[in-house]
Structure 1
């Protein structure tokens, strides 16, 4: 017994006649008669009584009708679900660096939710190293991290190129190079937790150029970092996009932060979207990637913003 047998049986019940059922199924009467006989033999019981050349459904046939309706309905539901599998819907677990989530994602997420209301987007922020591990463990469907990310189990695509700057309180003198920073004596750093790419870049730079570090403090939000730096407590390395309001370009006298140049090898950072290679086909993730491209444009367009 298969679905085609059940569909044929249901048609006979609805039409009340093998002849009319054959016409509806676009086949010959003998074919329907043979398949019905084989179905009854398979089940070991008659489904219809033949009375005066009429078919009268038996109690077993009546019982089978209920099962047939449920099975055929479930099959139709499964077919529709599979056909919709190429449509963006369901849960999308997205990870992001805190800075990217704050500076780049609000407009993207708003546009994505308008375009794809059937997708439930859950956003989780963490440092790059943690996000990479969560994608590898299939705890996230995709993540926006600092690139490049090279791993045999991961795919990636560039999202945006960020200008990276050193920031201090607004009343600090301009720091043009490592020597200027070193002359201020041991410097205090304010960064995200270990695993943040900006934190690692800052430490690598200062150690490479022999700039003494007094201490470092770690925070979970960039607002806390900017607040400590604005208070004159130390410096940090951040994407320029997260500090716009603190620079107050319309009225520089009210600025709370000052931006300083960094070595060319640190001046730009590429944010990439990563996902597990084993999950190559995920319509919701692809739809979000397309929305990122539509909202943010060519990654290289942001190198001077």
Structure 2
């Protein structure tokens, strides 16, 4: 075993293969040729005197010895990053920052803060990915994300959560629906309705079904729809087929006449989606995280206004059944 010749680049390549389970995908992520990455990983294995990956399997599998070694490689890379921050001795947020965001927040929340944050912190390199909540939790645990913007609380072991705002839910109804004559729509009004909801795996689906006290979705006319787009659900309701529940920011983006004629607030206790920034408790990019949280909180607050009184935060991870 000759550790003197081991390089940080080799460690990064090995960690990338472990994350992606593919030498080709790892090479694309590291912006190098597959042959170059493979050669460096093989050299690393020779220096360590152990086989890290079972290349005969597709996807590539990590060996038992490799799993232990790669866990230590992650620690080395984390501490190296920390060393760079200490040496820099600069309080200004800087460096690469990997942010995951759930698909139901990306279209409405990202445009609120992204431009002002980038202008205020030009030394931060943001890498943003749309990920489902379970993927964010897994990636934070694997140290392949610095933070996740998601519906909280998640109560995930080893993670910290910073609440940033509360978004009300509203009913979106078809033209001529009797509920449009009401000022507010109640839980009871929706509990026996056929609703369009997002597919399984989306937290907003769980929250809507929880509010409607329905263990299973009841799609209009028995049509099973797999679409993660609120625009699609809105379009279906516009045809007169069923109703749906929307986040307030999505409803705000509708034309004024649609907001007036088709959207109705939900009665107290108003169901709320808590929007939070989730990080690992051992995360090292604290300066960037704090600046990012402050920016999101400020601009989200302007868009949403104060939290409605009598609101109730819904659990985003309730199981269906």
Normalised TM-score (structure 2):
0.58
User: How far off its partner does 1:80 sit?
Assistant: 9.1
Instruction: Tell me if the contact between 1:165 and 1:262 (Cα under 8 Å) persists in the aligned partners.
Output: yes
Deviations, residues 89-144 of structure 1 (Å, cap 9, x unaligned):
22111112233222222131101110111211122223333322222222221111
Match of 1:222 among 223, 230, 233: 230
Secondary structure in structure 1 of the residue aligned to 2:283: coil
Query: Is 1:163 paired with 2:171?
Result: no
User: How far off its partner does 1:189 sit?
Assistant: 1.7
Cα distance in 2, alignment partners of residues 104 and 247 from structure 1: 18
Deviations, residues 47-77 of structure 1 (Å, cap 9, x unaligned):
xxxxxxxxxxxxxxxxxxxxxxxxxxxxxxx
Counterpart of 1:285 in structure 2 is: 289
Cα distance in 2, alignment partners of residues 222 and 142 from structure 1: 25
Counterpart of 1:233 in structure 2 is: 241
Normalised TM-score (structure 1):
0.61
Cα distance in 1, alignment partners of residues 131 and 247 from structure 2: 16
Cα distance in 2, alignment partners of residues 299 and 157 from structure 1: 18
State how 1:51-130 maps to structure 2 within 5 Å.
Answer: 82-84=87-89, 86-130=91-135
State how 1:200-219 maps to structure 2 within 5 Å.
Answer: 200-208=206-214, 213=219, 214-219=222-227
Pair 1:171–1:128, CA change in 2 (3 A): farther
Find the structure with the greater CA-based Rg: 1
Counterpart of 2:157 in structure 1 is: 152
Cα distance in 1, alignment partners of residues 216 and 275 from structure 2: 28
Counterpart of 1:36 in structure 2 is: none
User: How far off its partner does 1:257 sit?
Assistant: 6.6
Counterpart of 2:254 in structure 1 is: 246
More strand by share: 1
User: How far off its partner does 1:153 sit?
Assistant: 0.5
Cα distance in 1, alignment partners of residues 88 and 191 from structure 2: 63
Deviations, residues 5-27 of structure 1 (Å, cap 9, x unaligned):
xxxxxxxxxxxxxxxxxxxxxxx
User: How far off its partner does 1:204 sit?
Assistant: 3.1
CA RMSD of aligned residues (A): 3.4
Secondary structure in structure 2 of the residue aligned to 1:98: coil
Cα distance in 2, alignment partners of residues 255 and 80 from structure 1: 48
How many equivalent pairs are there? Answer: 221
Structure 2: runs of 5 or more not aligned: 1-82, 310-321
Deviations, residues 239-280 of structure 1 (Å, cap 9, x unaligned):
1111224251xxx3x659722444645611111110011215
Query: Is 1:135 paired with 2:140?
Result: yes
Cα distance in 1, alignment partners of residues 84 and 300 from structure 2: 37
Secondary structure in structure 1 of the residue aligned to 2:201: coil
Cα distance in 2, alignment partners of residues 263 and 133 from structure 1: 36
